[in-house]
Amino acid sequence: MNSNRPLSYDSFKKVLIYMNANLRLRFATQCPSIRSAEKAVPLKIKFFQPIRNCMFIDDTVYHIGVYKKYPEGECPPRVIMTNNTDGSSRDVDEFGFDYWGDANAVTEGDVDVRNPGELEEEYPEKPDGFVEQEENRLRDLQARLADPYSNESESNLKGNIHDSLASLQPFYSRRDGLKVPFKCFLMLTVKHENNEEKRVEFVVYRKKVQEAYKYLSCKFFGNRHHPVTFKKMSFEPTIIRFPPKLKIRIHGLYTCADMNVVLGAMEACADLASYPLEKIVGLYPKKEKHFYHKHIKSAKYLKIYGCGEQVDWAQVYINLLGNQKIHNYRSHTDITTTECNELIKKWIVDEKPVGTCLSFSIDHKYYLPSYYERIYC
C-alpha cells in the first residue's frame, strides 16, 4: 500500500469534519488548494467570542493590533509594552495621534448588538493645556537626569523622557509638518489558551484595525456552503464583524447586552434550525421588557445573573416565561412563599412536563428551613 497516495476529495472532506476548527482554518488560509473543500464542509465551533479587535475561537484568540516600529534604541518604554502585548487596538493618523478609526461603522454582514443609542467610545482628545503641562514635565525630567546628586535611576528617567517625548510628538508633527518617527504595521497575534507560545504575523499598515478584523472574519467564515455552528457564543454590546450572507447556527447564547436587541439582530444571520435555543445566559437585565422576545421565552434553559430592582422576577416567570429550565442567580428581589405557591398552582394548571425546573438563590442560607416550611406545610 502506498502511504503517500493523496486522499480523494470526498475522503478529505470527511477528515475536515473531525479536524480541530483552528487547525482547519489555518490550513485553509495557508493552502489555497484545499479552500474549496474546506468551505464545502460544515464548520462547528465550540466557543466563539468576538471583541472589538480580537476573536476567540475555541481555545485560540486572534488579535489584531497596530505595531509601532521605532529606530533601534529609540522606542519609548510604553510603546515597547504595547507592542509586546499584541499591539494597540487604536488606529494611528498621519501625525501619530491615536483614534478609534471605523469602530462605529456598520458594514454589510455586521450584526449590531449594542444597546439602543450606545456607540463605541471615541478616543478622547487631550485636554486644553496638555502640551504645556507635558513640556513642563519633560523639562523637570531632563533637569533631574542632569543633576549629578540625584538618587533616581538613570534608566527610569531616560524611559520617562522617551515617553514624554512620544506624548508630545503628534502635536509637534501637526504643528510643524514633521514626519512621525516610527513606521506602523498591522500585527496579527495568534495565541492558544494553554500555551505560552504565540504566532505573530506583520503586514504593511494599509487597512484600519476594523477593516483588517473584517477581512480576517471573511477569510474564516465567508462563502460557506453551510451555516457555521457555534455551540457557545458569548459577547458584550458590540458590533460583530461577520461577512455578508453568512448563516450561523447557535446552541447557546451568553451576553450582558439587551437580550431583545441581541436576538432581534441575530435573526438576520441565524439559521432557523437554531431555535429553540438550547441555552441563554443573560447578565444584569434591568427591566421586564428584556424578557419579551419570543426566543427568550422558548429557550430550553434560561439562566439570569442579577436582575435589576425594577424586575419582579416571580411575575416575569408566572406571566411571561415558559422555559423548561430557569435559574436566577443573585436577583435583587426574592420570590416570596406566596409567589412560589402561586407558581406551583400555575404549573399544575398548565400541566408542565416532567423535568421543568425553576431555581433561584436566597441571600442567607439560614432562611431556607423556614422557607421550605412555609411552602410545604
- How does strand 248-255 pair with strand 228-235? parallel
Res. 270: pLDDT tops 90: yes
Measured CA to CA, the distance from residue 293 to residue 323 in angstroms comes to 12
Res. 332: pLDDT tops 60: no
Confidence label for 176 from pLDDT (cuts 50, 70 and 90) = very high
Domain ranges (residues) in the chain: 11-61+208-376, 63-189
Measured CA to CA, the distance from residue 164 to residue 159 in angstroms comes to 9
| Cell numbers given for 288 | 421586564
The Cα-based distances of 235 to 21, 96, 162, 199, 242 in angstroms read: 20, 31, 37, 24, 14
Task: Give percent above pLDDT 90 in the chain.
Answer: 54
pLDDT in tens, 272-329: 999 999 999 987 776 777 788 889 888 999 998 876 666 777 777 777 777 889 888 7
**In this predicted model, which residue has the larger pLDDT, 352 or 283?**
352
How much is the pLDDT for 299?
93
Measured CA to CA, the distance from residue 210 to residue 225 in angstroms comes to 25
Res. 62: pLDDT tops 90: yes
pLDDT in tens, 216-230: 999 999 999 999 999
How much is the pLDDT for 122?
62
- Cβ within 8 Å of residue 377, ≥6 positions away: none
How much is the pLDDT for 359?
81
How much is the pLDDT for 367?
55
pLDDT in tens, 87-101: 999 999 999 999 887
How much is the pLDDT for 273?
92
How much is the pLDDT for 1?
46
Res. 2: pLDDT tops 80: no
